[in-house]
Structure 1
Amino acid sequence: MTDSDTFDIEALNALRLLGPDPADWVAERPGLDHNVTIVGGGQTGTAFAFALRRAGIGKVTIIDAAADENGAGIWLTRARMNKLRTPKNLVGPELGLPALSFQAWYEARHGAEAYAAIDRIPRTAWAAYLKWYRTFLGIEIRYGTRLARVEPADGAFRLHLESKGEPRIETTRKIIFGNGILGSGGAFIPEVLAKGLPRSLLAHTSDPIDFSALKGKDVAVVGGAASAFDAAATALEAGAASVRLFSRRETLASVPILRVRGYPGAYDNYAYLPDAIRWHQAIRYRQAGSTPPPDSIERVLRFANFHLHLGAPWTEAHVRDGRAETTIKGETFAFDYVIAGTGYFSDPNVRPELADFAEDILLWRDFYTPPADEQDAYLGAHPYLGFGHEYLEKEPGTAPFLKNIHVFNPSGFVSFGLPIGDVPSLKRDVPGVVARISRDLFLDDLPAHERRITGTVPPDFEDSLYAGAVHGDRQKVAAD
């Protein structure tokens, strides 16, 4: 028996000691396919599935547009870092159960000394752990299933799906969007690149990129955050002839603003902060910039054919002789390929699945007016979410169904102060969202539950069980 086999047995025993999963207590509604539909089968979707199961909420389904498990989430697709960017000891999808943690899984396979020796979690090890987590807990994901449209209908939703190329419609009471950073809006490509270059010469870091095709090529990477450095490193490691990284900042962002919020007081209570404070914290992050980890920078510095350009925004781009050409600070450069590591934007109005009601969703710009020196259209387009990560109505009473859509992707950043969907958000927010879903489902069916909790209960025993021990006339008591 291997150490991993022993670990699986120990994990099974931990679940046994936790007790069996509660029975599904949600009142049956004829004609409804699901109580909860989770959109996205990555780390967020699987964590929610387990948490909902432990809350006794049944009829939960997970859909993912990826063809199979290797395409779901980011870890084996567009994530190109060698290590996760978060500390290795954060609580993740195990949600407080040590036997299901990454550390327990890793130590069973590599030993405690090996875990102690890593500073952060290797990306491929994290992907393998998530696969084990899914398999061990028996979490089923319907791959090849894309959500095309959400249609509010009779106190529920009609989901217009494309399942393996075939259209179908299913109904659900609740939706959780655990669909990652692209699900919050889209990839941001600066206009100068989008208009000046064809997609044959241009990709965003969120795109599937064939880096092997860049061998011997001159590559430009635009952006100065982690994903830009990871793309540059991957191109260099694939044999690119040269890679130039262009950052609009005069120096690379090096101050991790979010780190000071990590203590329990701020972390646990962030959503209760006044709007002005939450907005100001988001502005501070925007001004400081997203910091690439030092090892991502060191990864490109190993190559003599890497060049860093600071204070070098692209102001023009065009095609000449089949190559992308630009002039920066009076110097002209030509490239075989350009990769935009320029981040993402959040805006429910651009999501096709939300088209039926996107204009009814309350955004930060609708609810909060920042001071003149803190105006920011990018942050203003983020949804203003409720405490259960639910959408709120722009005009009260016009779209009450919005409270049944829970958003667990990075569009919750301004409201909750973290990149929602990343590992740090799981410990705090998954239990909170599940508690809100549980409350809503219970109160929405209150008449049925009131009948259930006030129903007739048979006695566990008859009076005769204790009659002989009653003080007084025992014969009379027995006769009675």
Structure 2
Amino acid sequence: MVLSINELEKWIKQDLDQKRYFTKQSWCKPSRFDAGQKVYDVVIIGAGQCGLALAHNLKMRGIGRILVLDKQPLDKPGPWSTFARMPALRTPKNIPAMESGNPLLSFRTWYCAQYSEAAYDSFDYIPTENWKEYLAWFRKVLEIDVINEYEVAELESQTDADCFKIIPRQGDGQQVYFSKFVCLATGMTASGAWHMPEEYVGLLPEHRIHCAWDDIDFRKFEGRRVAVIGSGAAAFDNASASIEHSCSQLTMFSRRIFPKGEGVSTILARGRNDALIFDEESGQAPADILQPVLDYNQYLQPQDRAKLLALFFKDGRSAPRPEYFANIKHIEKINILEGEKISDLRLNSREEIELISNEKAHLFDELIIATGPQYNLELRPELKHFHQDILTWKDVIFDENVLSLGVQPILSESYQFRSKHGDSEEVISRLYSMSDVVLSTVGIQCVAKVSQIIAEDISKRLFHSSFDHIMDFIQDEENYQTN
């Protein structure tokens, strides 16, 4: 039986009301700072799927004083309305996500209620527009407080009050907030920022060179020759968008050679057939090796973990695998050049973009840079006062042949930043991340698992700090007052 959307929302409300889910109060010790301003238990920076999933898991644990801040407008959640230009998500539709074990909150349940089961069965990858709808619905039905168009300029530690001061960008007209814990859910730029490589800066007029993460007017590409530098997901998204807007030619320059065989994840998920060793296991399905690798690689020694992670990063983050191409729109119209080394870029006398790669000249009208973000914690405004104390891979082991992302932070088992120095551990450990930085520590993890682990760890720490407050209430409820 498929519920209507109204019936589904009614069931969700009834189920969660029993848990006092929708209260704005919290069992944690209430705190005020300075001139009596409220101190939140948790502030989450980023209102995409990660931020909303964490907010949901905190509310499930009775933590009501939470706030989510997002720099995007309300109608443009996450990257789906800006630089993520793909028509569908890149992960299969049946991967567990934000619902955290509650089937009533799953994308499938929502989609079937909103549209139909037949419509759901018609695709393998979630259409981007439907995912945006789902995020908006998830936020609405769970009454998650989000302040949009709030860009964090910096965090300051208020050591005398065990909290952070969250300061907005100057001129935004937004207020300052205080919180005991802060979690970054800022996506791909969680340990850096989008970056135009220095070797391309100033070589071409600004209206002829474009960055993949900018708001590009692809209508102007009609009938023009377009080059894309880069070979990651954003490069293919922008190439597809250019072709869709009738560019006359699209050439992609990839520094790396694309992998030809199966990916590490595919091989591990398929498993090893031990029937070759144990005859009695003949006919049994091989065990999935991928899941234990994802669950337990964080417990390896740094050297071994670095070797394992190097395979994942080389396999999944440098260039798409063969099976990925089937889901790229207009792939047959993209001229992909692999193993390219660009040595020069200029505007010739005919106002054409002249790109020299592997000692060969190519002529274009428009250029898109899609080389991805630069990893550097100094570029994160939230970490302005903390980056020098955060432990990174290069502080433990840094071999370019083993792990090329040495500037990435090493997170704890609970996804906290870790400190290089003991004297800053207490402050640094109250900063969490569930963005792309987790990949360098624990590999690929599903949103549901990460959000549950972080919510559980924060809840335990809040309970410990609130214990005396709770005991006072138990022992003298009649005279209890909130301070």
2:10 is matched with 9
2:457 is matched with 436
Are residues 1:299 and 2:330 paired? yes
Pairs aligned (count): 445
SS where residue 380 of structure 1 aligns?
A: coil
1:467 is matched with none
Kindly tell me: are residues 320 and 399 of structure 1, through their superposed partners in 2, closer, same or farther at Cα, counting changes over 3 Å? farther
CA apart distance, 1:457: 8.3
2:338 is matched with 310
What is the alpha-carbon distance in structure 1 between the residues aligned to residue 293 and residue 423 of structure 2? 33
Q: Which amino acid aligns with 1:271?
A: Q
What is the alpha-carbon distance in structure 2 between the residues aligned to residue 191 and residue 430 of structure 1? 36
Deviates more, 1:227-236 or 1:263-272: 263-272
Residue in structure 1 matching 2:119, options 114, 117, 128: 114
Residue in structure 1 matching 2:433, options 404, 407, 428: 407
SS where residue 85 of structure 1 aligns?
A: strand
Deviation string, structure 1 residues 254-275 (Cα, Å, up to 9, x no partner): 6433443774323333322332
SS where residue 388 of structure 1 aligns?
A: coil
Residue in structure 1 matching 2:378, options 326, 349, 362: 349
TM-score relative to the length of structure 1: 0.85
SS where residue 234 of structure 1 aligns?
A: helix
Q: Is the 8 A contact 2:39 2:163 kept in 1?
A: no
What is the alpha-carbon distance in structure 2 between the residues aligned to residue 121 and residue 283 of structure 1? 29
TM-score relative to the length of structure 2: 0.85
What is the alpha-carbon distance in structure 1 between the residues aligned to residue 205 and residue 395 of structure 2? 36
CA apart distance, 1:286: 3.4
Q: Which amino acid aligns with 1:294?
A: F
Residue in structure 2 matching 1:90, options 84, 88, 95: 95
Unmatched tracts of structure 2, length 5 or more? 270-288, 479-483
Q: Is the 8 A contact 1:192 1:316 kept in 2?
A: no
Residue in structure 1 matching 2:393, options 347, 364, 383: 364
Q: Is the 8 A contact 1:243 1:307 kept in 2?
A: yes
Are residues 1:181 and 2:188 paired? yes
What is the alpha-carbon distance in structure 2 between the residues aligned to residue 365 and residue 197 of structure 1? 35
1:463 is matched with none
Deviates more, 1:253-262 or 1:141-150: 253-262
CA apart distance, 1:450: 4.1
What is the alpha-carbon distance in structure 2 between the residues aligned to residue 369 and residue 312 of structure 1? 27
Kindly tell me: are residues 398 and 50 of structure 1, through their superposed partners in 2, closer, same or farther at Cα, counting changes over 3 Å? closer
What is the alpha-carbon distance in structure 2 between the residues aligned to residue 16 and residue 167 of structure 1? 32
Residue in structure 1 matching 2:257, options 211, 226, 250: 250
Residue in structure 1 matching 2:60, options 38, 41, 54: 54
What is the alpha-carbon distance in structure 2 between the residues aligned to residue 73 and residue 15 of structure 1? 26
Deviates more, 1:250-259 or 1:361-370: 250-259
CA apart distance, 1:452: 4.2
Q: Is the 8 A contact 2:259 2:319 kept in 1?
A: no
Kindly tell me: are residues 167 and 124 of structure 1, through their superposed partners in 2, closer, same or farther at Cα, counting changes over 3 Å? closer
Kindly tell me: are residues 320 and 113 of structure 1, through their superposed partners in 2, closer, same or farther at Cα, counting changes over 3 Å? same
Kindly tell me: are residues 11 and 70 of structure 1, through their superposed partners in 2, closer, same or farther at Cα, counting changes over 3 Å? same
What is the alpha-carbon distance in structure 1 between the residues aligned to residue 217 and residue 166 of structure 2? 34
What is the alpha-carbon distance in structure 2 between the residues aligned to residue 50 and residue 235 of structure 1? 38
What is the alpha-carbon distance in structure 2 between the residues aligned to residue 41 and residue 225 of structure 1? 24
Q: Is the 8 A contact 2:398 2:406 kept in 1?
A: no
Deviation string, structure 1 residues 120-153 (Cα, Å, up to 9, x no partner): 1111111111111111112221112110011111
Q: Any residues of structure 2 matched to 1:19-30 within 5 Å, and which?
A: 20=21, 24-30=26-32
Deviation string, structure 1 residues 431-460 (Cα, Å, up to 9, x no partner): 00011111122223333234445x2689xx
What is the alpha-carbon distance in structure 2 between the residues aligned to residue 142 and residue 199 of structure 1? 33
Deviates more, 1:106-115 or 1:400-409: 106-115
Are residues 1:274 and 2:301 paired? yes
Residue in structure 2 matching 1:37, options 33, 36, 43: 43
1:203 is matched with 210
What is the alpha-carbon distance in structure 2 between the residues aligned to residue 282 and residue 356 of structure 1? 29
CA apart distance, 1:114: 2.3
Q: Which has the larger radius of gyration?
A: 1
Kindly tell me: are residues 250 and 28 of structure 1, through their superposed partners in 2, closer, same or farther at Cα, counting changes over 3 Å? closer
CA apart distance, 1:243: 1.0
Are residues 1:396 and 2:422 paired? yes
SS where residue 84 of structure 1 aligns?
A: strand
What is the alpha-carbon distance in structure 2 between the residues aligned to residue 7 and residue 447 of structure 1? 40
Deviates more, 1:397-406 or 1:257-266: 257-266
Kindly tell me: are residues 329 and 456 of structure 1, through their superposed partners in 2, closer, same or farther at Cα, counting changes over 3 Å? closer
Higher relative contact order (CA 8 A, sep 6+): 2
1:320 is matched with 348
Q: Is the 8 A contact 2:88 2:128 kept in 1?
A: yes
SS where residue 339 of structure 1 aligns?
A: strand
CA apart distance, 1:213: 1.9
Unmatched tracts of structure 1, length 5 or more? 419-423, 459-480
More helix by share: 1
Q: Is the 8 A contact 2:195 2:372 kept in 1?
A: yes
Q: Which amino acid aligns with 1:445?
A: S
